[in-house]
Amino acid sequence: MRKTLLTSLAVLFASTGLASSIAFAQSASDGKVKIGILNDQSGVYADFGGKSSVEAAKMAVEDFGGKVLGAPIEIVDADHQNKPDIASNIARQWYDTEQVDAIMELTTSSVALAVQAIGKEKKKIDIVTGAATTDLTGKQCSPYGFHWAYDTHALAVGTGGALVKQGGDTWFFLTADYAFGYSLEQQTSDFVKANGGKVVGAVRHPLATTDFSSFLLQAQSSGAKVIGLANAGLDTSNAIKQAAEFGITAGGQNLAALLFTLAEVHGLGLEAAQGLTMTEGYYWNLDDQSRAFGKKFFERTKKMPNMVHAGTYSAVTQYLKAIEKAGTDDTDAVAKALHEMPVDDFFARGGTVAANGRMIHDMYLLQAKKPADSKEPWDYFNVLATIPGKEAYMDPAKSGCELVK
Amino acid sequence: MVMIFGIPLQAFLGQLLIGLINGSFYALLSLGLAVIFGLLRVINFAHGAQYMLGAFVAMLLLQYFGINYWFALVLGPLIVGLFGALIERTMLSRLYKLDPLYGLLFTFGLALTIEGTFRYLYGAAGQPYSVPSQLAGGTNLGFMFLPIYRGWVVVVSLVACIGTWLLIEKTKLGSYLRAATENPVLVQAFGVNVPMLLTFTYGLGAALAAFAGVLAAPIYQVSPLMGSNIIIVVFAVVVVGGMGSIMGAILTGYMLGIAEGLTKVFYPEASNIVIFVIMAIVLLLRPAGLFGRDA
């Protein structure tokens, strides 16, 4: 019996691997501009980006007219399951045999770093909207890599800064145990220390943890004024919910959800989320321009976009404009155009692209409303402040990227 | 301050208690799996999906019918149990004659279908579900702040575990069930409706999973992924306890919950693999599991 069980398990794992490799087999052709959206479509970040990002990319293509330089534009997509190895295989296949010209979205920092390295080696463009680590435009920057929507530095300055200003001078971190978590913890720590604060401890938890009580208890006994949640997606939602349960927020400790967006607030509910401060590069209810996109997006997906969805639309559109400007889809020419062109759309106002690939634009410091103050569905935030791009993002000269002279 | 292994006694006690709480979920879930495996010889991969269904039924009952937690605690397992019985009767029962592999593949496919459907309908971020007002708040135990609801989970899952064990080991119905697994033909010859018993057993297993799901709803985000996150751990619990051993599954559930809780203090990065390390060691030393009888 045991033998059959083990064989069965082996069959099972083999078959799930197989299914994922069949899922993205698409036919290839030339004379086309092909954009691949590669992200988490079934795991903890599936609402953060997921299928809705694919819809955003398709909307961008339709609004562009479906053609650039007379060639049809095609969107392909795949689920990388948050695994860099799966993502790398898909990226290689897309670039090598399926004439994909650019890969975008790339939620999960470990995945984004892996795919950007492949793009650099193969001379292909990638535009990251879903991942956060500043390494993408730092030590591991690529002349063909762009980082569009936000990054860990902007989150540290935004959310971290707001809490330090409120008197949160001692911090304890709950950190997701991979590239993104480290990067976010590191930069928030630096920011806290630079402002006279102290970090009293940190604990690393595996990605997709359901029970945080053990970690929260450690955070509680540390006595820190602020518990920094250097994680994302479902992990953060669970941590917030359980922190309330264990009387942590009631006991006077503040939570800093360093990466938390509209999508997660929607899942958590305003009742539990009220009062949380967070930083996003886009909020649908900001002004007429952002509302117009929000409404259009809502008609298609039945949800309002967060900065990843809006950022993906913006990135696809800008990429297509760059091809038009360059008059070719040659990687060097398009990358050059992307670096030169200002970004001005509903997402980024007066955005610029630095030599390290960082798109610098204003960020918004948001606070989740009380349930009673929410006037319509998805009306979740008060905008506390606009953080100018130059403050939010790291000075490219200090990023450690070799492309910045 | 008294220290144990370099951490203060108070923190240590707190972590032990947390381990016990998580162990309650492991125990409840692995119990259902052990019952189904022990009596039907089916490796029920849909167990995680049934747990998730329990949580969703509770959430939907509240959302659409205003039915509160207490009724959901009864209705959730009942609805999912009936659904399980239906699945067993119409589909799973056809596979008993075949290699157990088919049962496993069928339930795995079923799990993927159910989870995929809910992910399509509700997204991955899940839905909120509040702690019932009677159990809200918490109490300070001196060494930690214990949310009342978590204490409730420990008590109620213990009761459910012991109740199930008594049902199977000590009642007449239980003796029929056990006899039907040993020799179905003979038991049938005595006039017992064996297929009906098997349907009941699968329904019971599914209901136990759903019960755990309703219990979990106020603590964890009600999400389509909640089942697949926990099911692999629960399988490890069953393997460590000994396949088919009901008491083994219960005790191992609590033990591994505590082991995991302590790992979160000493080496948090390893907390999601410690159970599998224990499983590997147990399989090497005692292939039949800690409480299993060598077949």
**Over 70: is that where the pLDDT of B35 sits?**
yes
Lowest-pLDDT range of A70-74, A137-141, B287-291: B287-291
pLDDT band at A26, cuts 50/70/90? very low
Q: What is the mean predicted confidence (pLDDT) over B29-37?
A: 89
Contact A234 B108 (CB under 8 A): no
- For chain A, what percent of residues have pLDDT higher than 90? 73
**Over 80: is that where the pLDDT of A11 sits?**
no
**Over 80: is that where the pLDDT of B129 sits?**
yes
pLDDT band at A5, cuts 50/70/90? low
How many CA atoms are closer than 13 Å to the CA of A218, on its beta-carbon side? 26
* Residue in B101, B126, B144 nearest the CB of A234: B126
pLDDT band at A23, cuts 50/70/90? very low
Q: What is the mean predicted confidence (pLDDT) over B95-107?
A: 88
Contact A47 B123 (CB under 8 A): yes
- For chain B, what percent of residues have pLDDT higher than 70? 96
pLDDT band at A193, cuts 50/70/90? very high
Most confidently predicted of A19-28, A333-342, B267-276: A333-342
- Best residue of A7, A8, A45, A276 to probe chain B, by most B CBs closer than 10 Å: A8
Q: What is the mean predicted confidence (pLDDT) over A148-156?
A: 94
The position carrying tokens 């117009």 is A292
Q: What is the mean predicted confidence (pLDDT) over A291-306?
A: 95
- How far is residue B50's CA from residue B205's CA, in Å, rounded to a whole number? 9
Q: What is the mean predicted confidence (pLDDT) over B232-238?
A: 90
pLDDT band at B133, cuts 50/70/90? confident
ipTM of the complex: 0.76
Q: What is the mean predicted confidence (pLDDT) over B83-92?
A: 93
Annotation: CATH topology of B3-126+148-285:
ABC transporter involved in vitamin B12 uptake, BtuC (1.10.3470)
Nearest to B38 by CA among B193, B242, B207: B242
Q: Name chain A contacts of B109, Cβ cutoff 8 Å.
A: none
**Over 60: is that where the pLDDT of A3 sits?**
no
> How much is the mean pLDDT over chain B?
87
Mark residue B131 as left, alpha or beta (left: phi above 0; alpha: psi -120 to 50; beta: remaining): beta
Q: Does B265 touch chain A (CB under 8 A)?
A: yes
B 68-107: CB under 8 A from A: 99-101, 104-105
Segments of chain B assigned E as strands: 3-4, 7-8, 138-140, 145-147
**Residue A244: predicted pLDDT:** 85
More confident residue, B184 or B95: B95
**Residue B7: predicted pLDDT:** 66
* Residue in A2, A213, A241 nearest the CB of B287: A2
Task: Express each pLDDT in A103-120 by its tens digit.
Answer: 999 999 999 999 999 999
Q: What are phi and psi of A309, to 5 degrees?
A: -65, -50
Q: Which two tokens stand for residue A383?
A: 């905008």
Inter-residue contact A364 to A280 (CB < 8 Å): yes
Task: Express each pLDDT in B192-206 by its tens digit.
Answer: 888 888 899 999 999
* Residue in A11, A247, A267 nearest the CB of B125: A267
Contact A213 B229 (CB under 8 A): no
Contact B127 A237 (CB under 8 A): no
Output Rg (C-alpha) for chain B, integer angstroms: 19
> How much is the mean pLDDT over chain A?
89
**Over 70: is that where the pLDDT of A19 sits?**
no
Q: Name chain B contacts of A172, Cβ cutoff 8 Å.
A: none
- How far is residue B203's CA from residue B205's CA, in Å, rounded to a whole number? 5
In sequence order, the 6+-apart residues with CB closer than 8 A to the CB of A339 are: A353, A355
Domains parsed from chain A with CATH numbers: 30-150+289-357 (3.40.50.2300), 153-280+364-389 (3.40.50.2300)
Q: Name chain B contacts of A263, Cβ cutoff 8 Å.
A: 125
In sequence order, the 6+-apart residues with CB closer than 8 A to the CB of A336 are: A326
Q: Does B16 touch chain A (CB under 8 A)?
A: no
The position carrying tokens 């459907």 is B117
In sequence order, the 6+-apart residues with CB closer than 8 A to the CB of B155 are: none
Task: Express each pLDDT in A169-189 by its tens digit.
Answer: 999 999 999 889 999 999 999
CA dihedral B190, B195, B200, B203 (to 10 degrees): 160
pLDDT band at A2, cuts 50/70/90? very low
pLDDT band at A9, cuts 50/70/90? low
Q: Name chain B contacts of A46, Cβ cutoff 8 Å.
A: 119, 123-125
Task: Express each pLDDT in A213-269 by its tens digit.
Answer: 889 988 988 889 999 999 998 889 889 988 988 888 888 888 999 999 999 999 888
CA dihedral A154, A159, A161, A165 (to 10 degrees): 160
Q: Does B124 touch chain A (CB under 8 A)?
A: yes
Lowest-pLDDT range of A245-254, B49-58, B150-159, B208-217: A245-254
Contact B108 A44 (CB under 8 A): no
Q: What is the mean predicted confidence (pLDDT) over B131-145?
A: 82
Q: What is the mean predicted confidence (pLDDT) over A330-354?
A: 95
**Over 60: is that where the pLDDT of A4 sits?**
no
B135 burial type by CB count under 10 A (0-12 exposed, 13-18 middle, 19+ buried): middle
Q: What is the mean predicted confidence (pLDDT) over B126-139?
A: 82
Q: Name chain B contacts of A45, Cβ cutoff 8 Å.
A: 124
B 221-260: CB under 8 A from A: 221, 223, 225-226, 229-230, 243
**Residue A8: predicted pLDDT:** 53
B158 burial type by CB count under 10 A (0-12 exposed, 13-18 middle, 19+ buried): middle
